[in-house]
Chain A
Amino acid sequence: MKIVTLFFKILFLSKSFSQVSPSSTFEVLDGNYSNLQGQEQNGSILTQPKRSSLVETVDRAGLDLRNSDVGVRVGAAKLLGKYRITKSSFLLVGALDDQSALVRRAAVVSLAEHFSNGFYIYDKPLVEKIYSKLADPDVEVRREVSTMIPRLISGLMRGGVEVVEINGRRVYRSVPSSLRPDLLTMTLQAFLDEDAIVRQNTLKYHNYLRVPLPLQTLEKLLNDDDLGVLLTALERISTNASHGSIVRLIQNLSSHKDKGIRMKVIAVARDANRYHPGYRSTLRKMTQDTDSEVLSMAAVELARFGEKVQPSVIEKIKDYLLSVDGMSTQVTTILYAVSALGVDGVAVYRALTEHTSSKIRSIAWQRYISTSNGWDQVSLWMPALKDRDKGVRKAIINSLGGRTIKFSEAELSLLVESKFSDVRIFAAQNLLNADLETVSSLGFDLLIDEDTIVRSTTIRAMSTMRVPGWVKVMTRSLLDSDYVIQRAAMDGLLEDRQKGVPALIEYLSKNPQSRISNLAIIELNKIGIQL
């Protein structure tokens, strides 16, 4: 049977190369190219040779690829990586069969350079040729090709239609969007390549290639000595997660010497829990791990499943969190997940309010108060406002914002006496919720505060509440040298037309040149009072 393969692709394959750089841009000499301009040497002007065009450069490199000298061939392969045109790609793909591993390495690195610069090859035979080098005898070539797999996919898995001539008849037939059988076999072998990077990359990308991971291969990979391969293999168990052999292997890995692997086992056991009850028993076993971080993570995952965690384990979680030096991704996960321990978690959060890390204290305080339903209990959160870190105090004050808190005079007094201005500002804001007697008693302490915002907040609270003598306080405050205070006093007086506005007018008549006077006149005009 005579078969002449015309092999043109009707669908996608017509566009072999997505991008072709305009050749004209390569032919222009750069204006900043000063070092190639004429240079004076020994009194004479040397004329620099003109750069060749893009086509000339690539043609020359193509010739060099056929040179008998390996060094010349390597140089040509490296140079072609800089020119993203179809011809360079053809030449580089051809160089992948060079007998010298150095040339093949240079060629595959240059092809990778094309791909990483967005110049993809979509011509299936060419891409298949590149991919076939996953079985190259040279490990560097294999590594490079395995790294490139995600970029080869679009060309490699491309379907279409080809036209073949059989006994003089043109026959259209489909090209499947799957891996060629020999390449499939090669991929299956690459799972167990002697090089760990190739194994890891093949494992990482086999789904893109639609190559299933055989159970026996997965079992071998879950026994791999290389940590990178092992971590990747653990991510790939889902399709085989219900097999007893995999469950046993995961159980074995739960006591792996590397902590990262054990942490990964926890994540895997959590996600695979629905496939087999063995995964949950793995998690239970891991609550006895020698490392408190691993133990804590396993315990909180169990708690999230609704399992009761033993008090001794909870104690260890508490000890672990108290011993950490600050927040990290893992600590954050465990810290928030303590809520899943329910009532038992409250004590953990309580203990953590005395942690050395301010971030942990901040979260612990908020969680402790929330899980204790304690936002209405002043005594519960009052100690948080004594925290030495402003961030902790701010977190609590922000959480309290919008809540109506009825302070006793003693409680408010504690806030007024705080050495932190943010707490005193909070006290001043809460004067609005206090009774008149308390405001009268504590307000004046706040009026002489060293912090401007405390004073201005107090002035605003006193004017709003119309405490006895408030007009006098406002008019005195108008004489303050601080504009923020003057402004608060003016706003207070403007709110009361009976007593406040006359007092403001009187102030203006006596102090027409004051900083606040112009603004006060404008504000009075707005409410219909002309001066």
Chain B
Amino acid sequence: MKFFFSILILSIGQLFLLSANEKRLDKDGSIRIVQLLRQENSVRRYPDALPSLLKMLNEQTHAKFDTDPLFIDTLTDERLFENPILYVNCDEQPNLEFPKEERDALRRYMELGGFVYLDAGIKASFLGADLGHSYAAWEERPEVRDLFSLVFPEKTFIPLGRDHDLFRTFFRGLPSNKDLKIQSNQKRLPETVLTFVEREKWPQATYSFVGLKVKGRLACVASPICAMGWGRDEFGAWIPPISFRIRESADNFDDDLKLASFSGSTFEVTREDGLKDIIYSETGQRPLWVKEPNGKWRIFKYYSGEEISNYAHAFYSRLGMNVFLYALLN
């Protein structure tokens, strides 16, 4: 099934390219991802991530991507229009303020069929300058909202439903022991972690994505940072290590956390249902706990280790591959 699906994806991707740039496909035969890097000497966030993901795509599907992203420093670069997918790691950009010419070019690109993936386009406010954390908020970060209010004033980002095709374009479901290349009886994750992941964090291998449609087509998606989960070293080991933030409850938390000692600030974060979680966080520290709209209090616990990291990488990579393959279908 996957085999035929792969061929379909490749064919559609090539059709897109043919219409966009026939000459290029004739010569290369592979799809090149354009990556925006506005400052060449800026600090890169996961520089090996995208090439590593594209290599995995080539190995695990029948799609053919050039594993070298084509870097551009301005959206007016004519080469952008020769390629169907633009990848932007929002954490790598000095800012998301673009001059009018670039905003116009971005609009034109999306109207002509280009797909824009804004990695780290979602970022909860309480994370501040901490680039090492992601948080599944369900709204685009303010800078992205400001930018697109100028690019497409008539449009807004909307959350992608858990049943969206993007989440099952090629890979379906969360990584199994077989996917993780571990023995069938080995614990994938600690029990509380696995339960939370399966039910709340990444149900059916979905994640908090928001998207923007242009001419009825999903032309742009934004997600919390996913690139951190795409890197593999030459021996196939995942890099860098990733930890999990899990919400955990206990019998007495609804009473105890209400009264427990706390100094710090609270932050409101939009949930999938549009309601707000109230995050309790102390300066310079990871968030402590959360009060949910239904009045339930839960504590944040942090898990790290090989199994956690491997699982997170496997998930982010499958998700990333789904996004790029979905982009080709659109």
Chain A residues packing against B (C-beta within 8 Å): 25-30, 32-36, 49-54, 56-58, 60, 64, 69, 71-72, 74-75, 78-79, 81-83, 105, 109-110, 112-113, 116-117, 139-140, 143-144, 147, 195-197, 200-201, 225-228, 231, 258-261, 263-264, 267, 324-330, 333, 356-360, 388
Contacts and interface: CB of A to CB of B under 8 A. Distances in A.
Interface string B52-69: 101100100000111110
Contacts of A75: 250-253, 256
B68 A25 contact: no
23 contacts: A32-B265, A32-B266, A35-B266, A49-B259, A71-B252, A75-B250, A75-B251, A75-B253, A79-B260, A105-B192, A109-B302, A113-B302, A139-B187, A201-B305, A227-B181, A263-B235, A325-B66, A325-B67, A326-B66, A327-B68, A328-B52, A357-B67, A360-B68
B46 to A, nearest CB: 14
B261 A83 contact: yes
Interface string B37-54: 000000000001001101
Contact of A30 (B190, B265, B286): B265
Given A64-B252, A263-B236, A327-B67, 8 more contacts: A29-B262, A34-B266, A109-B301, A109-B303, A117-B286, A201-B305, A227-B182, A261-B235
Contacts of B233: 329
Contacts of A231: 235, 237
B187 A195 contact: yes
A26 B263 contact: yes
Contacts of B258: 36, 49
B29 A356 contact: yes
A388 B182 CA distance: 46
B164 interface: no
A112 B261 contact: no
A71 B251 contact: yes
Given A52-B261, A325-B58, A144 B234 contact: no
Nearest to B68: A326
B261 A27 contact: yes
Contact of B235 (A113, A260, A359): A260
A326 B54 contact: yes
Contact of A78 (B248, B259, B261, B286): B248
Cβ-closest 3 pairs across A and B: A75-B250, A260-B236, A326-B67
B301 A325 contact: no
A195 B261 contact: no
* Residue of B27, B48, B259 with highest tally of chain A CB at under 10 A: B259
Contact of B304 (A54, A56, A116, A258): A116
A61 to B, nearest CB: 8
A504 to B, nearest CB: 36
B48 A329 contact: yes
B263 A28 contact: yes
Contacts of A27: 261, 263
Contacts of A143: 190, 305, 307
B187 A140 contact: yes
Contact of B183 (A112, A144, A196, A267): A196
Contact of A54 (B48, B261, B291): B261
B259 A51 contact: yes
Nearest to B257: A79
Contacts of A112: 302, 304
Given A64-B252, A326-B51, A78 B299 contact: yes
Contacts of A105: 190, 192
A344 B310 CA distance: 41
B262 A51 contact: yes
B278 interface: yes
Contacts of B183: 196, 225-226
B93 interface: no
Contacts of B310: 228
A383 to B, nearest CB: 15
Contact of A52 (B260, B264, B265): B260
B299 A79 contact: yes
Given A79-B260, A226-B183, A116 B302 contact: yes
Contacts of B65: 325-326
A260 B237 contact: yes
Given A71-B251, A75-B252, A200-B306, A35 B278 contact: yes
A531 to B, nearest CB: 39
Contacts of A30: 262-266
A144 B260 CA distance: 26
Contact of B186 (A82, A196, A201): A196
A325 B256 contact: no
Contacts of A64: 252
Given A52-B259, A327-B68, A328-B51, A228 B250 contact: no
B288 A82 contact: yes
A57 B299 CA distance: 15
Interface string B288-299: 110100000001
A58 B262 CA distance: 12
A359 B288 CA distance: 46
Contacts of A326: 30, 51, 54, 65-68
Contacts of B256: 60, 75, 79
A73 to B, nearest CB: 9
A388 B70 CA distance: 14
A452 to B, nearest CB: 17
A325 B54 contact: yes
Nearest to B283: A25
B261 A56 contact: yes
Contacts of A34: 266
B51 A117 contact: no
B163 interface: no
A237 to B, nearest CB: 15
